[in-house]
Amino acid sequence: MLEYKKKFIQYALECEVLKFGQFQLKSGRISPYFFNTGLFNTGSKLDNLGKFYAQALIESRLKTDIFYGPAYKGIPLVSTVAIAYSNMKQDIPFVFNRKEAKDHGEGGLLVGSPLKGRTLIIDDVITAGTSVRESVEIINNAGAQLAGVLIALDRQEKGEHDKSAVQEVSERFNIPVISIISLSDIVEFLELNPSSQDQLKIIKDYQLQFGV
């Protein structure tokens, strides 16, 4: 496992963003772990999160001209990623959307830099892919090109069919989906910790049943 992935899992556990136990998902499944980026809820935590996103993007070597954050979760995410990436690699513009177009002042649906060129969507996770589809429509309408999606966690979990939501998005739009970590990374992390064997068995059983 790459060192930054290991550090991110450790950090997510410290911030209680990643928890182990029994959690009911929207799908009705009982998951042995839960991941909530909303708990990166201080300036320092958000700053560190942006650095992990930027590191994952640098490792991917994906080229992009602009970062796009879908409202609402994507707004702080795209902001912190743009800051971190400017400090680590390159200063890149960013933009995010409003849920409802503004009909006064400068007006419009988008806030930030002009949406043009190769666009990377910044989000937390992909569950049903709805946010990505809405973002793609906005990107296409602006005349920009979709470069890929950058997320924090790939659950590597089957959706309604045998493919995961990430796989479906990647194939539908013919783009890479980059994640800081995946379920496989969490499994590997637990394998390296002798005290986590009980959790490891439960997660492996879940992975065997629902994983892709």
pLDDT tens-digit readout, 7-24: 999 999 999 999 999 998
pLDDT of residue 198: 86
Our answer to whether residue 104 is catalytic in this structure is yes
Task: Indicate whether 92 pLDDT > 70.
Answer: yes
Residue span of the structural domain in which 148 resides: 3-210
With 0-12 / 13-18 / 19 or more C-beta atoms within 10 angstroms meaning exposed / middle / buried, residue 183 is buried
For 42-51, the pLDDT digits (tens) are 999 999 999 9
Over residues 191-207, mean pLDDT? 89
Instruction: Name residues whose C-beta falls within 8 Å of residue 203's C-beta, 6 or more positions apart in sequence.
Output: 20, 32, 33, 183, 186, 187, 190
List 102, 161, 163, 204, catalytic entry: 102
For residues 165-176, average pLDDT: 93
Confidence of residue 104 (pLDDT cuts 50, 70, 90): very low
Q: Per the residue annotation, which of 26, 99, 104, 161 is the catalytic one?
A: 104
pLDDT band at 106 (very low <50, low <70, confident <90, very high): low
- Which residue did the predictor score with more confidence, 70 or 196? 70
102 is a catalytic site residue? yes
Residue 107, pLDDT above cutoff 80: no
CATH of the domain at 115: 3.40.50.2020
What confidence tens digit (pLDDT) does each residue in 50-84 have?
Answer: 999 999 999 999 999 999 999 989 999 999 999 99
Q: CA separation (Å) from 88 to 37, 51, 57, 153, 180?
A: 22, 8, 11, 21, 16
For the whole model, what pTM was predicted? 0.92
- Total structural domains in the chain? 1
pLDDT, residue 105, reads 46
Q: Examine residue 72 and say whether the peptide bond preceding it is cis (omega within 30 degrees of 0).
A: yes
